[in-house]
Amino acid sequence: MAFPYRHFLVIGATAGIGQALSSRLIKSGAKVTVVGRRKERLDEFVRVNGEQSVRGLQFDISNLDDIPEFVAQTMKQPTDIDSIIFNAGIQTPMDLADPEKFDLTRFHEEMKVNFSSFVALAHAFLPYLLQNPSPTSFIFTGSNLAIVPAATLPAYSASKAALNVFTLCLREQLRHSNIKVLEISPPPVQTELHDYMGLETGRNLGMPLDVFTEQAYKGLAEGKDQIVIGSIGPSETFNDIIDKRRTAFANLSKMMRGGKP
């Protein structure tokens, strides 16, 4: 492994990107703790990869009030967990123009799972990583839709935009700490996230999962803190937007701290 982390805790690891990235990390020689709602999938993942490399923890991150206790129980035992990967997510198309069809409860639930739960988890894990004398990291799985939203996916796009802003702010505020804050920004990837479109359509939408996983791993191994994979529209234009936005954020941050490093 080219990066300095030994033990990854992957939240949302029972399917899709989380599961594939966990497998790739294990292949590299890392230890992985996988977290998810579906116990049978966790057990199967441990069986396939071996208890010497992986352990499974069942937890539903939508239960925000239970997060502090979950983290305390996970970290209280002697553990060498030094990197947290935030990956869980849901995606639902919504018609904002039709009040009878627009499910406001569903909108708030999607924001909670995709954004608020990550904030709560980061808050709970923060003290443990700060007291680690070695390099540690938070790795957030965002989306290219954080930059260019999909009109039919308002909750998902908004949650990823909020997560992107949170990641920028957290990275800035932890710049002098031992915690590196990273963000992976995927394009559409062929996973069960799009099953609402029907299996044949949804599972064939976007980049093949194995191709995405290798590109994400390569970015992590190279030490990048922002790993943008694919693009929405022309790649050069999309990446130019991201670069200029980050430069503007860096300039504003420096101004707000009075020019201090």
80-107 confidence digits (pLDDT tens)? 999 999 998 999 999 999 999 999 999 9
pLDDT, tens digit (0-9, with 9 covering 90-100), for 7-45:
999 999 999 999 999 999 999 999 999 999 999 999 999
pLDDT of residue 175: 97
CATH fold group of domain 7-230: Rossmann fold (3.40.50)
Instruction: Using the predicted structure, report yes or no on whether residue 1 has a pLDDT greater than 50.
Output: no
Residue 259's CB is within 10 A of a number of other CB atoms, namely: 7
Helix (H) or strand (E) holding 92: none
Domain locations along the chain: 7-230
Residue 168's CB is within 10 A of a number of other CB atoms, namely: 18
Residue 142: which of 181, 178, 94 has the closest Cα? Answer: 181
Q: What angle do CA 175, 9, 54 make, to 5 degrees?
A: 150
- Buried/exposed 212-226: b ≥16 CB within 10 Å, e otherwise: bbebbbebbeeeeeb
pLDDT, tens digit (0-9, with 9 covering 90-100), for 45-79:
999 999 999 999 999 999 999 999 999 999 987 78
The model carries a pTM of: 0.94
Could you tell me the pLDDT band of residue 228, with boundaries at 50, 70 and 90? very high
pLDDT of residue 193: 61
115 within 8 A of 143, measured Cβ to Cβ? no
Could you tell me the pLDDT band of residue 235, with boundaries at 50, 70 and 90? confident
Instruction: Using the predicted structure, report yes or no on whether residue 199 has a pLDDT greater than 60.
Output: no
